[in-house]
């Protein structure tokens, strides 16, 4: 039979594999707070916000959209320009209302990255990753135990030569 010492060392190895593999295999995420963004508030003539309107942002001298999205429930849309010049922001609500705003951007509006927010670092632990890690550890330990039992059985079958 397997000795108590072997079982305890296998148990410790199992815990190390289980705990360390989640941190090694997972992807980390980090959030930063940035200044330098511009917000455009889109409203109807009745002062109601153009909530969830489709927005297209065009960079100076470009016909390709720099950014596409929707306004929030208050009719606001934020973007972060990466070059000076006159930016065009167009908002359409899908019911025939269209707003086009020209936004002048100077060098003073360029992005500045602030230090990471407190608690921004985290590690993504998904359920499938945990299940996969657990199954890998179980199969690995089972294989090790069967290998040890096979070696012992092989030793027991050897017949002494006369």
Q: Is the pTM of this model over 0.75?
A: no
Question: Is 50 exceeded by the pLDDT of residue 93?
Answer: yes
| The domain made up of 39-106 is a member of CATH 1.10.150.120 | no
Number of H helices, E strands in the chain: 2, 10
* Band of pLDDT at residue 131, cut at 50, 70 and 90: confident
DSSP codes, 68-88: EEE--TTSEEEE---S-EEEE
Q: How many CB atoms lie within 10 A of CB 18?
A: 15
* Band of pLDDT at residue 119, cut at 50, 70 and 90: very low
Does residue 75 contact residue 53 with C-beta atoms inside 8 Å? yes
- Residue located via tokens 């039992």: 149
Query: H or E segment at 100?
Result: strand 98-105
Helix, strand or coil for residue 125? coil
Query: H or E segment at 57?
Result: strand 54-58
């Amino acid at each position: 039979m397997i000795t108590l010492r072997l079982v305890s060392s296998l148990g410790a190895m199992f815990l190390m594999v289980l705990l360390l593999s989640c941190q090694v295999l997972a992807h980390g995420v980090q959030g930063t707070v940035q200044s330098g963004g511009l917000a455009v508030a889109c409203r109807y003539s009745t002062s109601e916000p153009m909530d969830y309107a489709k927005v297209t942002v065009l960079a100076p001298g470009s016909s390709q959209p720099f950014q596409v999205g929707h306004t929030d429930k208050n009719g606001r849309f934020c973007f972060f320009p990466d070059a000076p010049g006159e930016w065009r922001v167009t908002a359409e609500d899908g019911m025939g209302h269209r707003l086009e705003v020209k936004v002048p951007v100077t060098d003073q509006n360029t992005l500045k990255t602030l230090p990471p927010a407190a608690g921004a670092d985290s590690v993504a632990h998904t359920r499938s990753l945990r299940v996969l890690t657990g199954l890998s550890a179980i199969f690995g330990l089972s294989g090790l135990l069967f290998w040890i039992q096979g070696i012992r059985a092989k030793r027991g079958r050897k017949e002494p030569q006369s």
